[in-house]
Amino acid sequence: MTDEGKSDEALMGRYARGDVAAFESLYRRHEMRIWRYLERNVGNRATADELMQEVWFAVARDASRYAPSARFTTWLFTIAHNRMIDSIRTSRPQMSLETLGYEAPSVVEPLTSDPNSGPLAAAVARDQAKALIQAIEQLSAEQREAFLLQVEGDLSVEEIAAITHSSFETTKSRLRYARTKLREQLKEYA
């Protein structure tokens, strides 16, 4: 039986009762969304890996604590947000979301080495990826996180406001600003 049609909440319930396959389905379903959220926020692949592991460990450990009344993605991204903030504040106090820069452009290099891409496709993809990275990099930390929570987590403004402990209006403003800046940066690749 496939888990494709199963809701996140149902899968969590099954995992809490001991069904490991349900957890694997959940992991596959949300792996990349969480990964992009973390990696693009912290801009460091190693840190993102570390946080990724922590987030999913917490999901596994607290499976029975999860209340089905809350959306799984909201819960998942709340954990991710908290882990990311904790990591920045405690493990690396000299760093901040504002000052974190992007290291090696992990998006770009693998694209150019993709044997299935022709030279032109690779070049376009490289340019688009580079533009995307640069555009996200130029967002403020708050705008970047709000935008990533929305596009990766499919979260509402209210949910983002709750996760980031911000007001509804502030969150809405951050999202508008983020989209405006990204739109300008990505204009030529439309």
Partner 1 sequence: MNDVPPSQDEPDDVDDRYRRASALDPSRPSESVRRAVLSYAAQQAAQRAAKRVPTKLAADRRAANRAWWPPAIFGTLAAAALAGLLLTPVFLSPRAPRMTASPLARPSPPNAAAPPLSAAPAIDRSRDVSAETSSADTLSAPAARTTAAGAAPAAGAPRSETAAKPRALAGNATPQTINNFSPSNEVRLAGAAATEAPAAQAAAPRPRAAFIPRAAPMLQAGRPVDPAAALRRAAESGDVPGLQTLLDDAVDIEARDSSGRTALMLATLRGQTQAVDALLAHGADPNAADAQGTTPLQVALAGDQRAIAAALRRAGAR
Residues that bind partner 1 (CB under 8 A): 15-16, 18-20, 23-24, 27, 31-32, 35-36, 39, 45, 48-49, 52-53, 56-65, 82, 86, 106-107, 110-111, 114, 125, 128-129, 131-132, 142, 150-151, 170, 172-174, 176-177, 179-180, 182-183, 186, 189-190
Q: Which is nearer to partner 1, 120 or 190 (CB)?
A: 190
**Maximum distance among all alpha carbons in the chain?**
51
Smallest gap from Cβ 86 to partner 1, in A, equals: 7
Smallest gap from Cβ 34 to partner 1, in A, equals: 9
Q: Which is nearer to partner 1, 97 or 186 (CB)?
A: 186
Q: Which is nearer to partner 1, 3 or 19 (CB)?
A: 19
Smallest gap from Cβ 24 to partner 1, in A, equals: 6
Smallest gap from Cβ 62 to partner 1, in A, equals: 6
Query: How far is residue 108's CA from residue 45's CA, in Å, rounded to a whole number?
Result: 13
Reported for 68-73, long-range contacts at CB under 8 A and 24+ positions apart, including other chains, are 68/9, 68/12, 68/13, 71/8, 71/9, 71/159, 72/7, 72/8, 72/9, 72/11, 72/12, 72/26, 73/8, 73/30, 73/153, 73/154, 73/155
Q: Which is nearer to partner 1, 97 or 131 (CB)?
A: 131
User: How is residue 85 written in tokens?
Assistant: 């903030």
Smallest gap from Cβ 17 to partner 1, in A, equals: 8
Query: How far is residue 47's CA from residue 64's CA, in Å, rounded to a whole number?
Result: 27
Q: Which is nearer to partner 1, 59 or 100 (CB)?
A: 59
For residues 47 and 87, is the Cβ–Cβ distance under 8 A?
yes
DSSP state of 96: -
Q: Which is nearer to partner 1, 96 or 189 (CB)?
A: 189
The helix (H) or strand (E) run that includes residue 164 is none
Smallest gap from Cβ 71 to partner 1, in A, equals: 18
